[in-house]
Amino acid sequence: MLTVKQLPLWGKIIYGSGSGGFSLIDRVLITWLFYYYITSPLEGVEALMPPFAFGIIMFLGRAIDAVADPVIARWSDNYSGRMGRRMPFMLFSGVAYAAVFVFLFYPPVAENSPLNSVYLAVMLALYFTLFTAYVGPYLALLPELARTLQDRVDLATFRAVFMLLGIGIALIGSGILIGMFDFHGMVWIMAALGLILLYLPFAIKEKEYADSEPATLGLVEALKTTYQNKPFLIYLVGNVTFWLGFNIITLNLPLYVTVLLKGTEEQTSIYFGIAFGVALLFFPIINIASKRIGLKPVMMFALIAFMILLPLFYIMGQPVFGLTPELFGYILLGLVGLPVGVILIVPDAIVAEVSDLEGKLSGQKREAMYFGAQGFVLKLALGLSTVISGALLQLFGSTVAQPLGVQLTGPVSALFILIGVIVFSRYPEKEVRAYRR
């Protein structure tokens, strides 16, 4: 094995910036594309499609993306080039990814038309594939650049800081930019900012800081071996159920504000800002706790807290506990921020840890396949969250007069988190850490 340098502080910061780029772009899409197509906020334009139709198309896009995850992961793990195993994929996918993001907000027909459905399906398939082509190899760099628990938690924390920065710009800035420049102006500005952040990590020379020895397993064998890693499977259930619930909440936050609280689109940014501001505030505490008491207790805390808080979205907009609806909304989103902070840091460190067990399974370094195998399941779950949201809104209502569909999103999400709590409680952290020692 070649001797590689330890990644310095500046390298950890630069690595984290890439997360800010794709988090910014993806969160704008996740938050506003659904709203854009089912309400058409542009003046004089009718709704482009019903909510359930959008949910089905999004699910199909996620399904294609899920298949792309292990394919690109295996390609990256087995690739050999002068730039390393990861950087070439990130280099060639970044610009195309940002371009497709912009095109998604330019449907061919300004009305409800089958052509819009076909266009959305094709562009989402391209978008998610390009997303994976950048993010999969990018995440695989984390366990390669950081080889101790302390360094991995630190690197995951820097990545989370930039992720939060990207999400914050997207969710807080998007509403403001829509008010200033309309939807299309907002999309172009966000794409440009995201593109800059995507390319900052290329200041790191991969081969100087990461062991880039290619793997040799085929796709089927690589996937099979990865899913034989029991600690990884247990972790995966907990992480996927969390993101399924969180994505339902994110998709519907504009509706919580405009329907339940009877606010404006621009006010959505305030509620996002509170949640992610709290998450950022607790990053240092999460970092220290993860190193001192372990990753499992911190992750369990986040799952349980989220499971308790989600049902409270049902009563958002009502004067409960002697509080005004607005104040209750602020408090609820602030409380949500703490478990969100955990989920932005801890999962990456857990995947880095369980991927070390691969040496016992196949004797090869296949970090990308672990993130790819996770992405395969996670993308299907995120697609399912859109279908669930669309079904709830269409069946039970999504208007001020009929808000039940919006109200039900929180309690329904909590049911999925409960599954994650039960399964992840069996995660064998001591076994995983003992193998590393």
pLDDT along the chain (437 residues), means of 10: 74 91 91 78 64 82 81 82 84 93 88 83 92 89 80 86 86 82 90 94 83 70 79 89 86 86 80 86 91 92 93 89 89 92 87 76 70 80 84 88 90 91 91 68
In contact, 206 and 230? CB cutoff 8 Å: no
User: What CA–CA distance (Å, rounded) separates 281 from 346?
Assistant: 16
Q: What total of structural domains would you count in the chain?
A: 1
Assigned domain for 4 exists: no
Assigned domain for 400 exists: yes
Q: How many CB atoms lie within 10 A of CB 112?
A: 15
Q: Which residue from 261, 248, 268, 250 is spatially nearest to 409, judged by alpha carbons?
A: 248
In contact, 205 and 4? CB cutoff 8 Å: no
**CATH number of 123's domain:** 1.20.1250.20
Q: Which residue from 400, 347, 344, 431 is spatially nearest to 168, judged by alpha carbons?
A: 344
Assigned domain for 329 exists: yes
Distances (CA, A) of 37 to 78, 104, 217, 402, 411: 40, 10, 42, 20, 25
The pLDDT score that the predictor gives to residue 437 is 47
User: What CA–CA distance (Å, rounded) separates 152 from 146?
Assistant: 5
Assigned domain for 299 exists: yes
Contacts of 264 (CB under 8 A, 6+ apart): 257, 258
Structure tokens at 18: 């890439």
User: What CA–CA distance (Å, rounded) separates 383 from 389?
Assistant: 10
Print the domain residue range for 256.
10-201+218-436
The pLDDT score that the predictor gives to residue 215 is 67
Assigned domain for 211 exists: no
Q: Which residue from 31, 29, 48 is spatially nearest to 40, judged by alpha carbons?
A: 48
Assigned domain for 170 exists: yes
Assigned domain for 1 exists: no
Structure tokens at 358: 């691969």
The pLDDT score that the predictor gives to residue 1 is 45
Distances (CA, A) of 111 to 108, 216, 286, 396, 398: 9, 50, 47, 24, 20
Assigned domain for 182 exists: yes
Q: Is the pTM of the predicted complex or chain greater than 0.85? A: no
